[in-house]
Structure 1
Amino acid sequence: MKKAYRIKKDKEFQLVFQKGASFANRQLVIYYLEKKDQQHFRVGLSVSKKIGNAVTRNQVKRYIRQAFIDLENRIKDNYDIIIIARNPVKDMDYHEIKKSMQHLFYKTELYK
């Protein structure tokens, strides 16, 4: 995923948390905020140490990033999106995580 598509700064995370909307299922929580002046969506990921060791957390982040790459043509452009992984994610494979993300995008109407 390109660097321009990532949210890195704490201020940007806090803005989405405070002013954005959220939705959750058992595996993931999504926060999203519409930004009119933005040309493409941006993504921030949060995987807590409660999920597991560094290897597990990095694997979960890789799966989520890959799911965004696969779904990027279907996601609305001018949004900041933050995904927070919950504990059941550590036992899921890529296809289950992608399906869970698709459910969130469908429910939050972030699909084009």
Structure 2
Amino acid sequence: MKKAYRVKKEAEFQKVFRQGESVANRQFVVYVLEKPEQAHFRVGLSVGKKIGNAPTRNAVKRKIRQALTELDQEQAVKQDRDFLVIARKPTADLSFHELKKNLIHVLKIAKMI
């Protein structure tokens, strides 16, 4: 995933937290903030220490990025939004396909797909 597609700065994270709307399922919490002037979506990932050690957290982030890349190639994700994906504890035990299915589920609830 390109750097232009990521929310990196703390101020941008906080803006999405404060002004965005949240939805959740058992594995993920998603905050969405509409930005009509934006050409493509941007995503921020948060995987806390409760998920596991650093290699486990990095593996979860890689799986989430890969799932979002595949969804973007399918033109499924709405483009004019910033959103944050927060992983909950059960995500560390999921396979890639289960993680992608749950991510699609929560993004449908958030009306991102």
Q: TM-score, normalised by structure 1?
A: 0.97
Cα separation, 1, equivalents of 2:23 and 2:40:
21
Q: What is the match of residue 102 of structure 1? A: 104
Cα separation, 1, equivalents of 2:83 and 2:59:
20
Q: What is the match of residue 34 of structure 1? A: 34
Q: What is the match of residue 23 of structure 1? A: 23
Aligned length in residues? 111
Runs of 5+ in structure 1 lacking a partner?
none
Cα separation, 2, equivalents of 1:100 and 1:37:
29
Cα separation, 2, equivalents of 1:61 and 1:46:
8
Cα separation, 2, equivalents of 1:60 and 1:4:
21
Cα separation, 2, equivalents of 1:105 and 1:97:
12
Cα offset, 1:109, TM superposition: 1.2
Cα separation, 1, equivalents of 2:110 and 2:8:
23
Poorly superposed stretches of 4+, deviation over 2 Å = none
Q: What is the match of residue 85 of structure 2? A: 83
> Quick one: which amino acid aligns to residue 13 of structure 1?
F
> Quick one: which amino acid aligns to residue 67 of structure 1?
A
Cα offset, 1:105, TM superposition: 1.4
> Quick one: which amino acid aligns to residue 95 of structure 2?
D
**Percent identical across equivalent pairs?**
56
RMSD in angstroms over aligned alpha carbons?
0.6
> 1:46-78, CA deviations, whole angstroms, 9 ceiling, x for partnerless residues?
000111001100000000000000101100010
After TM superposition, the structure 1 = structure 2 runs for residues 54-93 of structure 1, keeping only pairs within 5 Å, are 54-72=54-72, 73-93=75-95
Cα offset, 1:106, TM superposition: 1.2
Partner SS state of residue 84, structure 1: strand
> 1:66-111, CA deviations, whole angstroms, 9 ceiling, x for partnerless residues?
0000101100010001000000001001111100011011111111
Runs of 5+ in structure 2 lacking a partner?
none
